Amino acid sequence: MAKELKELTPRSKDFSQWYLDLVIKADLAENSAVRGCMVIKPYGYAIWEKMQRQLDDMFKETGHVNAYFPLFIPKSYLSREADHVEGFAKECAVVTHYRLKNDPNGNGVIVDPEAKLEEELVVRPTSETIIWSTYKNWIQSYRDLPLLINQWANVVRWEMRTRLFLRTAEFLWQEGHTAHATREEAVEETERMINVYSEFAEKYMAMPVIKGFKSESERFAGALDTYTIEALMQDGKALQSGTSHFLGQNFAKAFDVQFADQTGKLEYVWATSWGVSTRLIGALIMSHSDDNGLVLPPKLAPYQVVIVPIYRNAEQLQQVNEKVAGIVQRLKALGISVKYDNADNKKPGWKFSEYELKGVPVRLAIGARDLENNTIEVARRDTLTKETLSCDGIENYIKELLEEIQENIYKKALDFRISQTREVDSYDEFKIEIEKGGFLLCHWDGTPETEELIKNETKATIRCIPLEGDKTPGKCMVTGKPSKQRVIFARSY
Amino acid sequence: MAKELKELTPRSKDFSQWYLDLVIKADLAENSAVRGCMVIKPYGYAIWEKMQRQLDDMFKETGHVNAYFPLFIPKSYLSREADHVEGFAKECAVVTHYRLKNDPNGNGVIVDPEAKLEEELVVRPTSETIIWSTYKNWIQSYRDLPLLINQWANVVRWEMRTRLFLRTAEFLWQEGHTAHATREEAVEETERMINVYSEFAEKYMAMPVIKGFKSESERFAGALDTYTIEALMQDGKALQSGTSHFLGQNFAKAFDVQFADQTGKLEYVWATSWGVSTRLIGALIMSHSDDNGLVLPPKLAPYQVVIVPIYRNAEQLQQVNEKVAGIVQRLKALGISVKYDNADNKKPGWKFSEYELKGVPVRLAIGARDLENNTIEVARRDTLTKETLSCDGIENYIKELLEEIQENIYKKALDFRISQTREVDSYDEFKIEIEKGGFLLCHWDGTPETEELIKNETKATIRCIPLEGDKTPGKCMVTGKPSKQRVIFARSY
Ligand SMILES: [Zn+2]
Ligand SMILES: [Zn+2]
């Protein structure tokens, strides 16, 4: 994977190109030969694995178990829930045949017309329908509830315009699908999981988010309520980072899933679903990274520390190797992941650029003079500052430094969001402010008509109706009609 | 998931039905509404997660990293490698369209004929072609090699006759795809990975396996050599449990992947691929389980210990709960996974049967008399024996017991395989012996013709040409021609 370390396009010049440059040059992902489908490269996938491991632990701590449901969904299932089919049928990969055969003209293989499926299969865009058709057989009595199941899977939505991680035809995600005896319990679950996502975003991704409800027109197709976490990217655009849906009894009715309650009475089951995807990697990049490359929070970095030796000859390298072996051991004993790069075919300067580009939180460098002085150079990726410290107890220093970097990255992103969040009270002002980016807190009359007018005129959408914060009523900035509370408008990914 | 605990069909009566009963009743998997696709239920998936975690660790310890490649493969890619297309094109799910639309007649949704793909996409049956088309861009120089990449993914092969875990249209697996500068290095990698699989099968699954080469006609489509591990199931049939392929330069030539060596000369890259799948769960079941249900090796059991309280009233339960809390804590401190089932809506007898069915290695039971005596009942799933022991130091006893169970299960399976493995020297004898099942060690002249004759007449195939053991030459049992060593024949899954 040899690659020249060229300059990234600066964010100020072209944010979109900066993002693409960075994804490619940091070896995170690339477009594949299949339109809209990405290849997630090892370094990008290592970040996803860190995310998966942490989320999976959090799901299990909240009582969930994993399972796996089929990739394919019979076409007719999609039609069972009226809103759902409207939302998902339009952009599906459709399997129509189950065999290829040799081209009689000798040109490779062709679809065998005799192997046509009786009913076409859709590659899952989301799994509510196949899962609720299965739950029908699993749920008879209140004793079978709740069902708290998660699936890690690939899904396909045939997007016309794609962007690596942010919008791809195929992506990886997890989807939770739970079944409950009561409305209250399902609502509680919906809220529990948006809180899990919010905690994950803030504590692990170091990315501040605002929790809220989606407006009716932005809801998941088939949901009664969609909770979302919304983050602000460095270019002032919002990114929806996770959603949790209260599905009411829609899917239970669509697939006839009833249970006998304690009195023996049959009731429809209450449902939730919730998911986050590889899109989070895009959110992570656009939250923290800079014109020098990735900035990764220590809790999700594939390795937290890299050590680069500086030497003139084999003898010096040998001495550095010995010194570093002890440091590596002490770092690992504290649970810190570390890479020692003593590859001989790259210069230290090249390595410094490479690990800066890849966002390794802490870089250590050690040379002949350091050996004499028992010192080591410590460089932080987030602030790009360096200091030379004694090797004694360096492992404890690094451990604390990693925590500090995690907090600093979060604080920087939070300060940025606060600076970019403002109340706007007139629609004229709104039209000016929305051009500057950021979150605009505005009163809205609660109607889809006003929302659509704003969207058409300004490309801004309601990101969410915040759960927390100021709930003072007011008047809609467009129509002057009553508004229950300010909602967040922004342009978005 | 209420479910009557009915008897399983005994193995001696109908092994195949026993297997199916067990998979369903132990809540491992079930057939879905989509023909040939299974639903892996939470208990079955938990076993897969244990397998994944361990294998993933072993892959990383041997220098591999994970990545993710597209689900879809352009149809023309399959044709690039001549043997490969013969092996895989025949049973593919083919995506021909990318959109559904409302049926103008009002009957749900139909495929939109205007959304036809220019080139059809095949749902990956295995990923050599898409991966090598990607490697072409990643490999220019010897410095880019080796590439040691693994992928965890779903794949689809449109099988006509399916059986849960053993043969399904969609299954989960991992596929390693490595690229090397020399033949020797690629062969070493192929061998390294069959050794990883063998170690995993024996140490974790407690399943003895025989390592060997596949004969030419049983090789992977596109491979120069296929290494396999073969296990013997309790019904005397063989199960191929993992394969590692030396692909030579076939895929590099098909996708024109060349690298500049240290002298600047262009050479084709050498390749390997290797995989194991959810089929291993079927192998695990058929290796160890009995007429009472699953028998799981402690290292892969979703929980290793279950504790069942025995009580007459709430006060007694309260006392047992307190006692058990301490035991659970001490077990967990030793890294033992434990479930305390004090659910009030099931009787102890029901729970005993349930956990026996589910193969939990150790069951503890504790009642009022035990509280008085500071004792606990310890039951082993593998031997179905029980003993009453003091609670003092019970955690250390259990830890050793789990190791003993792991070893005992392995030994039992190994003894069985040894008892079912025999040398056969005449084809007449072979025809009698093959009906009894087991591994038959026979001389074979090395030709596909003789192999096919034997297969057609007896349904037995060459499972492998063993790497280890007796290498004495002899004469083919069918043709009398020279044979280099005995090979293993068996009927198989
Ligand atoms: Zn609806
Ligand atoms: Zn070939």
Candidates B68, B62, B284, B78; CA nearest to B174 is B68
CA of B222 to the centre of ligand 2 (A): 4
Neighbours of B348 (CB within 10 A): 14
Instruction: Give the C-alpha separation, B403 to B206, whole Å.
Output: 11
Final residue of a structural domain among A343, A368, A403: A403
Final residue of a structural domain among A350, A371, A403: A403
Option in B48, B67, B96 nearest A41 (CB): B67
B149·A42 Cβ contact <8 A: yes
Cis status, amide bond into B482, omega within 30 of 0? no
B398 and B279 fall within a common domain: no
Where residue B6 falls among pLDDT bands split at 50, 70, 90?
A: low
Option in B1, B134, B140 nearest A39 (CB): B134
- Which residues, including other chains, have CB under 8 Å from residue A437's CB and lie 6 or more apart? A235, A236, A237, A420, A490, A491
Ligand nearest A245 Cα, by number? 1
CA of A31 to the centre of ligand 2 (A): 28
Average pLDDT over chain B reads 95
B393 touching A (Cβ < 8 Å): no
B319 and B430 fall within a common domain: no
- Helix ranges restricted to H, A290-445: 314-333, 348-357, 368-373, 394-419, 427-433
The minimum CA-CA distance between A62 and chain B, rounded to whole Å, is 15
B104 vs B478, higher pLDDT: B478
Pairing of the two strands B305-309 and B439-443: unpaired
Q: Assess if residue B294 is contained within a domain.
A: no
Tell me the two tokens of residue A83: 């809103």
Task: Search chain A and give the residue with CA nearest B111.
Answer: A94
A389 touching B (Cβ < 8 Å): no
A9 and A94 fall within a common domain: yes
CA of B248 to the centre of ligand 2 (A): 9
User: In chain A, which among 47-86 make CB contacts under 8 A with chain B?
Assistant: 48-49, 65-79, 85
ipTM score here? 0.96
Final residue of a structural domain among A368, A403, A438: A403
The minimum CA-CA distance between A484 and chain B, rounded to whole Å, is 38
- Whether residue A109 contacts residue B75, with contact meaning beta carbons closer than 8 Å, is answered with yes
Q: What is the pLDDT of residue B455?
A: 97
A91 touching B (Cβ < 8 Å): yes
B46·A33 Cβ contact <8 A: no
Q: Could you tell me the CATH number of the domain that includes residue A362?
A: 3.40.50.800
Q: Could you tell me the CATH number of the domain that includes residue A439?
A: 3.30.110.30
What does the pLDDT average to over B218-233? Answer: 94
A262 and A135 fall within a common domain: yes
The minimum CA-CA distance between A89 and chain B, rounded to whole Å, is 5
Ligand nearest A85 Cα, by number? 1
Q: Tell me: the pLDDT tens digits for B328-382?
A: 999 999 999 999 999 998 999 999 999 999 999 999 999 999 999 999 999 999 9
Tell me the mean pLDDT per 10 residues along chain A, length 493: 66 97 97 95 98 98 98 92 79 94 85 95 96 97 97 94 95 98 98 98 98 94 95 98 97 97 97 98 98 98 98 95 97 98 93 97 96 97 98 97 98 98 97 98 97 98 95 97 97 97
CA of B201 to the centre of ligand 2 (A): 30
Model confidence at B409: pLDDT above 80: yes
Q: What is the pLDDT of residue A24?
A: 97
Main-chain phi, psi angles of A410, to 5 degrees: -60, -45
pTM, two decimals, is 0.96
A42·B69 Cβ contact <8 A: no
Q: What is the pLDDT of residue A6?
A: 63
Q: What is the pLDDT of residue A5?
A: 54
- State the Rg of chain A over Cα: 26
Q: Assess if residue B234 is contained within a domain.
A: yes
Chain B interface disruption, residue of A95, A110, A177, most B CBs within 10 A: A95
Q: Assess if residue A315 is contained within a domain.
A: yes
Main-chain phi, psi angles of B407, to 5 degrees: -70, -40
Q: What is the pLDDT of residue A88?
A: 81
Q: Which residues of A touch B149 (CB under 8 A)?
A: 42
A73 and A216 fall within a common domain: yes
CA of B251 to the centre of ligand 2 (A): 8
Q: What is the pLDDT of residue B438?
A: 98
Q: Assess if residue B409 is contained within a domain.
A: no
Classify residue B108 as left (phi > 0), alpha (psi -120 to 50) or beta: left
A200 and A332 fall within a common domain: no
Neighbours of B249 (CB within 10 A): 17
A89·B97 Cβ contact <8 A: no
Option in B45, B140, B144 nearest A67 (CB): B45
Instruction: Give the C-alpha separation, A370 to A394, whole Å.
Output: 13
Instruction: Give the C-alpha separation, A379 to A393, whole Å.
Output: 16
Torsional sign, CA B48, B51, B54, B60: negative
User: In chain B, which among 147-186 make CB contacts under 8 A with chain A?
Assistant: 147, 149, 153-154, 156, 158, 170, 172
A69·B39 Cβ contact <8 A: yes
- What domain count does chain A have? 3
Q: Tell me: the pLDDT tens digits for B72-111?
A: 999 999 888 777 787 887 789 999 999 999 888 877 889 9
Q: Which residues of B touch A37 (CB under 8 A)?
A: 70-72
Neighbours of A208 (CB within 10 A): 22
Q: Assess if residue B42 is contained within a domain.
A: yes
Candidates B120, B178, B130; CA nearest to B150 is B178
DSSP annotation of B7: P
The minimum CA-CA distance between B212 and chain A, rounded to whole Å, is 31
B108·A79 Cβ contact <8 A: yes
Where residue B5 falls among pLDDT bands split at 50, 70, 90?
A: low
Task: Search chain A and give the residue with CA nearest B139.
Answer: A1
B123·A123 Cβ contact <8 A: yes
CA of A113 to the centre of ligand 2 (A): 27
Q: Assess if residue B311 is contained within a domain.
A: yes
Beta-bridge partners for B378: B364, B387
Q: What is the pLDDT of residue A1?
A: 37
Q: What is the pLDDT of residue B345?
A: 87
A234 and A341 fall within a common domain: no
B13 and B91 fall within a common domain: yes
What is the extent of the structural domain holding A346?
303-403
Instruction: Give the C-alpha separation, B341 to B306, whole Å.
Output: 7
SS3 call for A307: strand
Model confidence at B240: pLDDT above 50: yes
Q: How far apart are the first and last CA of chain B?
A: 30
B337 and B271 fall within a common domain: no
Q: Tell me: the pLDDT tens digits for B385-399?
A: 999 999 999 999 999
Q: Could you tell me the CATH number of the domain that includes residue B227?
A: 3.30.930.10
A1·B138 Cβ contact <8 A: yes
CA of A195 to the centre of ligand 1 (A): 25
Main-chain phi, psi angles of B191, to 5 degrees: -70, -40
The minimum CA-CA distance between B169 and chain A, rounded to whole Å, is 10
A372 and A311 fall within a common domain: yes
Instruction: Give the C-alpha separation, A128 to B40, whole Å.
Output: 16
Q: Which residues of A touch B36 (CB under 8 A)?
A: none
B369 and B470 fall within a common domain: no
- What's the order of all strands across the beta sheet hosting B486-490? B65-66, B147-156, B170-180, B270-277, B238-248, B225-232, B210-213, B461-466, B486-490, B439-443, B421-423
Where residue B221 falls among pLDDT bands split at 50, 70, 90?
A: confident
SS3 call for B351: helix
DSSP annotation of B269: P
Option in A32, A67, A109 nearest B85 (CB): A109
The minimum CA-CA distance between B245 and chain A, rounded to whole Å, is 22
Option in B1, B111, B143 nearest A96 (CB): B111
Q: Which residues of B touch A89 (CB under 8 A)?
A: 99-101, 109
Q: Which residues of B touch A170 (CB under 8 A)?
A: 70-72
A–B: how many Cβ contacts below 8 A? 204
B111 touching A (Cβ < 8 Å): yes
Q: Which residues of B touch A140 (CB under 8 A)?
A: 2
Task: Search chain B and give the residue with CA nearest A133.
Answer: B33
Q: Tell me: the pLDDT tens digits for B43-82?
A: 999 999 999 999 999 999 999 999 999 999 999 998 887 7
Q: Assess if residue A88 is contained within a domain.
A: yes
A392 and A469 fall within a common domain: no
A1 touching B (Cβ < 8 Å): yes
Q: Where are the beta strands (DSSP E) in A63-198?
A: 65-66, 72-74, 94-97, 100-102, 109-111, 116-123, 147-156, 170-180
